[in-house]
Amino acid sequence: MASSNGKKAVMAVTGAVMVGFLVLHMLGNLKIFLGRESFNDYAHALRTLLEPIAPYRSVLTILEIILVVSVVLHMWAAISLARRAKQARPVKYVAKKSQAGGYATHIMRWGGLTIALYVVWHLLDLTFGVVNPKGFDSAPADRMIAGFDPSRWWVTLIYLVAVVLVGLHLRHGVWSAFQTLGWANRARYKALRATASLLSAVLVVGFLAPPLAITFGVVK
Amino acid sequence: MKFVEGPDIRDTKAPEGPIEERWEKRKFAAKLVNPANKRKLNVIVVGTGLAGGSAAATLGELGYNVKSFCYQDSPRRAHSIAAQGGINAAKNYRGDGDSIYRLFYDTVKGGDFRARESNVYRLAQVSVNIIDQAVAQGVPFAREYGGLLDTRSFGGAQVSRTFYARGQTGQQLLLGAYQALERQVAAGTVQMFTRHEMLDLIVADGRARGIIVRDMVTGEIERHVADAVVLATGGYGNVFFLSTNAKGCNTTAIWRAHERGAYFANPCYTQIHPTCIPVSGEYQSKLTLMSESLRNDGRVWVPLRKGDDRAPGDIPEDERDYYLERIYPAFGNLVPRDIASRAAKNVCDEGRGVGPGGLGVYLDFRDAINRLGRDAVEKKYGNLFEMYERITGENPYDVPMRIYPAVHYTMGGLWVDYDLQSTIPGLFVIGEANFSDHGANRLGASALMQGLADGYFVLPTTIGDYLAAGPFGEVDEEAVTEAEGKVRARIERLLSVNGNRTPDSFHRELGKLMWDYCGMERTEESLRKALERIPELRKEFWENVKVTGTAEELNQVLEKAGRVADFFDLAELMCLDALVRTESCGGHFRAESQDADGEALRDDEHFAHVSAWEYSPEGVPVLHKEPLEYEYVKMTQRSYK
Amino acid sequence: MNLTLKVWRQSGPTDAGRMVTYKVEDVSPDMSFLEMLDVLNERLIIEGDDPVAFDHDCREGICGMCGMVINGVAHGEQRATTTCQLHMRHFEDGATITIEPWRAAPFPVVKDLVVDRSAFDRIIQAGGFVSVPAGSAPDAHSVPVRKEDADSAFDAATCIGCGACVAACPNGSASLFTAAKITHLSLLPQGQPERLTRAKAMVDQMDAEGFGGCTNTGECTAVCPKGIPLDTIARMNSDYLQANKK
């Protein structure tokens, strides 16, 4: 795991965990279109998963721990690889021109950083309610709808930028994970890239739909 | 230039008896080195091409203590890497009538009866093992759908015995040898010295005991001693400045060895390759070969009429002269290299050449494309076509290629016996650097074969016979100091001239002179002129060369100047050798010696010998002759009609 | 053609180095890039200046010795071409051309445009071979190899070890070089016995040399003069991860 290839594998696996989370998270978000009740029920269900076999919120906590560990490992690997890259080229080029197309590949690092910062804000807003008008002791759906209230259009804007960045990050990240884990080859490249783009697009649309709907008053 | 004739020289190591048993006999007779002793024996190998790389790897594997040297930044750069076409081997995988004997026969005949039968037969025998060895190393030879190796027929052969890896056979074989070498470096049996140039040979008590090298990065002069020295430093075609050799190829190592007493054999035998991209301007720094395999499907022609400057596509069929097919109906476009080259020169001399300066002939794929389809042609030659287009800016699918002969390979080199040992005991010479197996002309796809045969199979056996008597003890300090002093003095001298001309400008002038007077066609007059001009130019060089920088740094001007200085001396010997050999044979064509059809005319009565030149510090070389006898292949005048 | 060159000059490993501007006149479009530099150097020598040091040897695109970053692109913008095979007809008259050495910590500058690439040799030493002593090989036809495998192995084996992949990689990674050799040998039956140990040893050596990690940007394969495909890296990763599982 200490080798550069090992770290890349860590990024790929942890990235996969996070993608899995994002897919579920997005599906959950979409419940808002079925009404506040439905959304709140979903949020509640998460906490009571596998009850009464498991105690209240235990499964969710385990999942959250896996997620946090993944985030930390993903960032650790990214930072140490970035540091390694910096050490590998101490003197910069006077002129440097990229030859590989793919805007997404070149924004992985600061894109990832921006997403990380956003996640902090996001948690403070909708999970802990610290920066949310409704505060922590409110129903999840209330926090969500209040959070993206038309008056708080800039929150929606931040969200939009972040989600688009996530999309770009994944467009490269998903196929890159396959490459890193050694499952890619010439014959599969096209399909893999298409899959990565499709997945990213679905996630972007899925995540943007609820806040935009709220901000523009479609969902109240 | 004066010379004197000395006593004949004989190859005392060649065993007698039936030719197919000689190598076995020699292997058995050669003394073995006790495995425990091998570690105590030091061997220096200079050069890391097919011969040197494979030799160093094999000697290391056998347990000797090896030091390997190359002037490039990595042993993988040696110019063997540029060989395109293929490697011959008498595998007879096609069942088309090939055999060791046939490969032997073809090589002796192709060499125009100026090679040793024993050596050539051994080469043909060993050729079979080379393919096995390379495949086991993972060399990705071309294969057929059944999974077996593909072969093709190549330059002058009527059987399909050439194994290949697209147009990059040399690269793949060299990388195989390089990987074997690096494996030994990792194992600690070989110590690798890159960016080190050999500048002199240490001879002590009559034995080759080491070399003086310059670390090309720091400029430090280093001494390395050993029990035997192997030179695998390639050919000297760059004496012509323009050749298909790499820019760094030079004669320094073998020339210094020659100055120390190793005889130089047949320096005038130069192979001019018929299919190279023509010169495009004064600034030209090297010539690029287009693989001879192109002649399998390309047709060579020039306009029938002198000065016909129409575009090739506008010249109708009946106004084209497919001169090789016309003159040599049996072999057509596949005649050996020397014949194809001279035929091109002749049609250009007639004023029928094409392209800038009229120095070019067409190599046309139109018919092949019509017959096989563009895809099939692309599959076979795609990378060569691309290379041609990159250099010339012309697309050979649409317009015929233009080609012209260029210096490619030097059959001459240091004289060696059957054991590949030179006239200095303990100095072994392998690959293109020696003179041994190709006679006066090398057949296509035989250079790779010889380099690897020498390095993997022949030298590792024969050197043991010499080393069995070792280790040879401390090296006489005086001999080492003398050699080192000589090297330092020479560098000092080059740096102190501080004249007005660059080393390259002298090299260009020398090269042009050699090409004009000692090139594809030589006459007594031209050679005498060259022998007059070379000393003058050399004098000017030593008075007027400009070398910038210092000796204690990476100094490419200094490197170049040192190499050019040696080329002058070699050039002189080449011209002398060409002058003395008044016959035509193989790559050496004397205009005075041709038959009624203008074909080369050998003079077996007077010249069925190797000319081995002994260096003389007074400038009067001594010629020793090694008579050549042909017991198996009857000497005949070559005919490819 | 008349050109302005901005060339990296660095007298030795400890010198800081700087860009120096030169004018070159009467350049023929048929010249190769290196021939254009030859012209400059001939002039510099006569003027008593130190000529620009650069590595080169075969000048036919196969030895892998030459290499410079031209206008920000390793080997210049012409695809699948080494510096020595790049011709001046691809440049505009009056153009300004920047020329820099490969830049990577494991490739320290020796002088001007000359860098030390011995790290590549050490990666090969770590395992880029099949262990087979001379004379011990079975008959070449004893093991048939699928043509497709032989062809793909060849594609990977065409790597010339020039280092452009490292020069172009934003991470300074040597993955394409290492993967090319691993793939070449991994695809052939002869390379199987050492397949996993080879992958592990070579990748670990690549790390030890100080090359960066791969982030799959594809910059390497875009500048590779031999077009070594990117999926060689996937194969390397696969072999490497398998080797670490054992």
- How many structural domains comprise chain C? 2
pLDDT recorded at residue C90: 96
Amino acid at B602: R
* Interchain CB contact of B138 with C (< 8 Å): yes
Contacts of C69 in chain A (CB under 8 A): 93, 95-96
Asked if the model's pLDDT at residue B156 lies above 70, the reply is: no
pLDDT recorded at residue B641: 74
Same domain, C106 and C123: no
pLDDT recorded at residue A190: 93
Reduce the DSSP state of residue C110 to 3 states and report it.
strand
Please indicate, yes or no, if residue A98 is contained in any of the structural domains.
Answer: no
What is the number of residues in chain A? 220
Interval C169-181 mean pLDDT = 97
- Over residues B369-417, the pLDDT tens digits come to 999 999 999 988 888 898 899 999 999 999 999 999 999 999 999 999 9
Same domain, C97 and C147: no
Asked if the model's pLDDT at residue B313 lies above 90, the reply is: yes
- Over residues C5-34, the pLDDT tens digits come to 999 999 999 999 999 999 999 999 999 999
- How many structural domains comprise chain A? 1
Topology of the domain covering B273-408: Flavocytochrome C3; Chain A, domain 1 (3.90.700)
Q: What are phi and psi of A120, to 5 degrees?
A: -60, -50
Residue A192's H or E segment, with its range, is: helix A186-215
Please indicate, yes or no, if residue C7 is contained in any of the structural domains.
Answer: yes
Please indicate, yes or no, if residue A93 is contained in any of the structural domains.
Answer: no
- Over residues B285-300, the pLDDT tens digits come to 999 998 888 998 999 9
- Residue predicted with more confidence, A220 or B58: B58
Pick the CATH number of B479-607 from 1.20.120.420, 3.30.70.100, 1.10.10.60, 1.20.58.100: 1.20.58.100
Q: With pLDDT > 70 as the criterion, what percentage of chain B qualifies?
A: 100
Parent domain of A150: 4-88+104-215
Compute the distance between CA of residue B439 and CA of residue B120 in angstroms, rounded to an integer: 9
Burial class (CB in 10 A: 0-12, 13-18, 19+), B627: exposed
Same domain, C148 and C196: yes
Same domain, C81 and C125: no
Neighbours of chain A (3+ CB pairs under 8 A): C
Under the banding of pLDDT at 50, 70 and 90, the label for residue B432 is: very high
What residues are paired with C4 via a beta bridge? C23, C96
Under the banding of pLDDT at 50, 70 and 90, the label for residue C200 is: very high
Contacts of B79 in chain C (CB under 8 A): 57-58, 63
Please indicate, yes or no, if residue A190 is contained in any of the structural domains.
Answer: yes
Please indicate, yes or no, if residue C138 is contained in any of the structural domains.
Answer: no
Q: How many CB atoms lie within 10 A of CB C29?
A: 14
* Interchain CB contact of A99 with C (< 8 Å): yes
Same domain, C68 and C170: no
Give catalytic residue positions of B: 337
Among A8, A96, A172, select the one facing C72 at the smallest CB separation: A96
Range with top average pLDDT, B347-351, B443-447, C108-112: C108-112
Same domain, C178 and C228: yes
**Are the C-beta atoms of residues B533 and B513 closer than 8 Å to each other?**
yes
Residues B540, B542, B543, CA angle at the centre, nearest 5°? 60
Same domain, C123 and C239: yes
Of the candidates B74, B46, B416, the one whose C-alpha atom is nearest the C-alpha of residue B201 is: B46
- Over residues B210-235, the pLDDT tens digits come to 999 999 999 999 999 999 999 999 99
Q: What CATH number should be reported for the domain holding residue C148?
A: 1.10.1060.10
Same domain, C46 and C128: no
Same domain, C68 and C91: yes
Under the banding of pLDDT at 50, 70 and 90, the label for residue C45 is: very high
Residue of chain C whose alpha carbon sits nearest to that of A183: C234
DSSP conformation letters of C176-234: HHHHHHHHHHHTSGGGSTTHHHHHHHHHHHHHHTT-B------HHHHH-TT---THHHH
Please indicate, yes or no, if residue A207 is contained in any of the structural domains.
Answer: yes
Asked if the model's pLDDT at residue C245 lies above 90, the reply is: no
Same domain, C236 and C123: yes
Same domain, C192 and C92: no
Q: Enumerate residue ranges in chain A where pLDDT < 70.
A: 1, 102-104
Lowest mean pLDDT among B435-439, B454-458, B611-615, C179-183: B435-439
What residues are paired with B428 via a beta bridge? B230, B421
pLDDT recorded at residue A131: 87
- Over residues C210-227, the pLDDT tens digits come to 999 999 999 999 999 999
Q: How many CB atoms lie within 10 A of CB A45?
A: 12
- Range(s) of chain B covered by CATH 3.90.700.10: 273-408
Lowest mean pLDDT among B82-86, B268-272, B380-384, C204-208: B380-384
What residues are paired with B362 via a beta bridge? B301, B402
Please indicate, yes or no, if residue C84 is contained in any of the structural domains.
Answer: yes
Please indicate, yes or no, if residue A96 is contained in any of the structural domains.
Answer: no
- Within 42-71 of C, beta carbons closer than 8 Å to A belong to 69, 71
pLDDT recorded at residue B154: 81
Compute the distance between CA of residue B86 and CA of residue C239 in angstroms, rounded to an integer: 32
Parent domain of C165: 117-132+143-245
Lowest mean pLDDT among B154-163, B185-194, B486-495, B524-533: B154-163
- Over residues C114-129, the pLDDT tens digits come to 999 999 999 999 999 9
Amino acid at B210: G
* Interchain CB contact of A74 with C (< 8 Å): no
Under the banding of pLDDT at 50, 70 and 90, the label for residue B51 is: very high
Residue C52 distance to chain A (closest CA, Å):
18
Please indicate, yes or no, if residue A99 is contained in any of the structural domains.
Answer: no
- Over residues B301-312, the pLDDT tens digits come to 999 999 899 999
Q: Which of C44, C45, C78, C159 to mutate to test the interface with B (most CBs of B within 10 A)?
A: C45
Interval B352-366 mean pLDDT = 94
Please indicate, yes or no, if residue C137 is contained in any of the structural domains.
Answer: no
pLDDT recorded at residue B100: 98
Under the banding of pLDDT at 50, 70 and 90, the label for residue B640 is: confident
Q: What CATH number should be reported for the domain holding residue C54?
A: 3.10.20.30
Interval B489-510 mean pLDDT = 98
- Range(s) of chain B covered by CATH 1.20.58.100: 479-607
Q: Which two tokens stand for residue A96?
A: 């440097």
**Are the C-beta atoms of residues A134 and A146 closer than 8 Å to each other?**
yes
Please indicate, yes or no, if residue C100 is contained in any of the structural domains.
Answer: yes
Same domain, C89 and C177: no
